[in-house]
């Protein structure tokens, strides 16, 4: 029975647990850097729990790195999505970059304006085109996400 559970597909949480175990053993000097890199790569490429177990077989606590399958399965399909489109890092990072670059451009323009060097608001040529593209992408992703949620509700 235990062999059957090792043939199940490994999840990201299990791979992360094995990676943490490998890091701890590397920090304790049980693995050199080449072996650590090789095993870490193998752990993240592992598809089954058996492959994960093979990565840590000769290390202390190697058996504890691959957990037994959970007996209870929870259906989360009825729960609303955890994050909205505005909290998606794929959008937060570009919006943060846009805000930072435009703040820098505005501060440079303001310094030049206050010293009498320039009066034309050139920073707007950076602010508006980039902002319009970002706004279009954000709205498109929000509509796609809403459409995906409606499709899921119709199927369920």
Q: In the chain, what are the helix, strand and coil shares in percent, each to the nearest 5?
A: 70, 0, 30
Q: What residues form DSSP beta bridges with 68?
A: none
For residues 23 and 55, the answer to whether their CB atoms sit within 8 Å is no
Q: What pLDDT does residue 112 have?
A: 93
Q: Six-digit token pair at 35?
A: 């072996």
Residues 90 and 30 placed together within one structural domain of the fold: no
pLDDT digit string, tens, across residues 2-31: 567 778 888 888 888 888 988 888 888 888
Domain total in the chain: 2
Query: Do 59 and 121 lie in a common domain?
Result: no
Q: Residue 78 domain-assigned?
A: no
Whole-angstrom distance, CA of residue 66 vs CA of residue 64: 6
In this prediction, residue 108 carries a pLDDT of 94
Task: Please give the backbone phi and psi of residue 9, each rounded to the nearest 5 degrees, phi first.
Answer: -65, 140
Is 22 strand, coil or helix? helix
Is residue 36 a part of any domain in this protein? yes
pLDDT tens string, the chain, 156 residues long: the values are 456 777 888 888 888 888 898 888 888 888 888 888 888 888 888 888 888 888 888 888 655 555 555 555 666 565 555 556 667 778 888 999 999 999 999 999 999 999 998 889 999 999 999 999 999 998 988 888 777 655 555 555
pTM: 0.43
Predicted local distance difference test score (pLDDT) of residue 1: 44
Domain that holds residue 149: 85-155
Q: Are residues 61 and 94 in the same domain?
A: no
- The answer to whether residues 118 and 59 belong to one domain is no
């Amino acid at each position: 029975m235990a062999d059957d559970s090792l043939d199940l597909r490994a999840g990201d949480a299990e791979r992360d647990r094995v990676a943490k175990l490998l890091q701890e053993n590397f920090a304790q000097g049980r693995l050199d850097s080449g072996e650590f890199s090789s095993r870490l790569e193998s752990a993240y490429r592992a598809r089954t729990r058996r492959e994960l177990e093979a990565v840590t077989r000769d290390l202390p606590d190697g058996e504890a790195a691959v957990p037994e399958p959970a007996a209870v399965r929870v259906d989360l399909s009825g729960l609303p999505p955890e994050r909205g489109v505005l909290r998606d890092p794929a959008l937060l990072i570009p919006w943060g970059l846009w805000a930072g670059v435009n703040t820098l451009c505005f501060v440079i323009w303001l310094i030049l304006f206050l010293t009498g060097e320039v009066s034309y608001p050139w920073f707007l040529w950076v602010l508006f085109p980039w902002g319009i593209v970002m706004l279009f992408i954000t709205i498109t992703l929000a509509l796609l996400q809403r459409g995906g949620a409606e499709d899921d509700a119709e199927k369920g």
